[in-house]
Amino acid sequence: MPRVGLTPAAVVDHALALLDDQGGEALTLAAVAARAKVATPSLYKHVPGGLAELRRLIAVRVTEELADRLTAAVLGRSTDEAVEALVAAYVEYAVRHPERYAALPQAPDGADPDLAAAGARLVDVITAVLRGYGLEGAEAVHATRTVRAVAHGFASLTTGGGFQVPEDLAVTRQRVTGVLTEGLRNWPGRV
């Protein structure tokens, strides 16, 4: 019988806390079990697929967390202001949770309905912001990819220590976002 209070969601909570504290290399079933104060075999009652399933559940949760952050950031905003808020929230999530961000799948497995739904929700936030620029169809797809590339690139360089020059990184992000919004306002394939 599963331990009272331990659920698949609680196991993911313990795994995320482990990621935050010790990094991705520390993620093992034994380490998560120790954090949850259960024997390792007890985790299989909650994540029968073992470490692979736990990593999948983490990917779903992280994707949902990022989608939630982006949704909150863009709420009540449109066009340039929404894009600026979206990029800032994206980068902030990566900086505050670099190990979680590293667990974010770049191309969610379409065969996994939970991961596909979480990924679609994340992309939908970006696509909704782009409607304010009059971008639809294929052009909205291209623009969504552009926004994701900018946000992910900036986040990855920031968390990976890629910006070593001592200029204010917030100013750099503002400049990058300014270039992005200028491009969106003057999108070549606008409908």
Summarize pLDDT for 42-100 with one digit per residue, the tens: 999 999 999 999 999 999 999 999 999 999 999 999 999 999 999 999 999 999 999 99
Quick one: average pLDDT of 183-189? Answer: 93
Ramachandran class of 29: left when φ > 0, alpha when ψ lies in -120 to 50, beta otherwise: alpha
Residue range 94-123, pLDDT digits in tens: 999 999 999 998 776 778 899 999 999 999
Determine the pLDDT at residue 107: 76
Note the CATH number of domain 57-185: 1.10.357.10
Q: Looking at domain 1-48, which of 1.10.10.60, 1.20.140.10, 3.40.50.720, 1.10.3720.10 is its CATH number? A: 1.10.10.60
* 38 pLDDT higher than 80: yes
CA nearest 118: which of 153, 66, 70?
66
Q: Distance (Å, rounded) from C-alpha 71 to C-alpha 78?
A: 12
Threshold 0.95, pTM exceeds: no
Residue 30 CA to residue 76 CA, distance in Å, equals 44
37 has a pLDDT exceeding 70:
yes
* Confidence at residue 101, expressed as pLDDT on a 0 to 100 scale: 95
pLDDT at 4: 56
Domain ranges of the chain: 1-48, 57-185
The token pair at 24 is 């991705």
| Tens-place pLDDT, residues 136-170 | 899 999 999 999 999 999 999 999 999 988 889 99
pLDDT value at position 191? 59
Q: Which two tokens stand for residue 126?
A: 């970006």
* Confidence class for position 1, pLDDT limits 50, 70, 90: very low
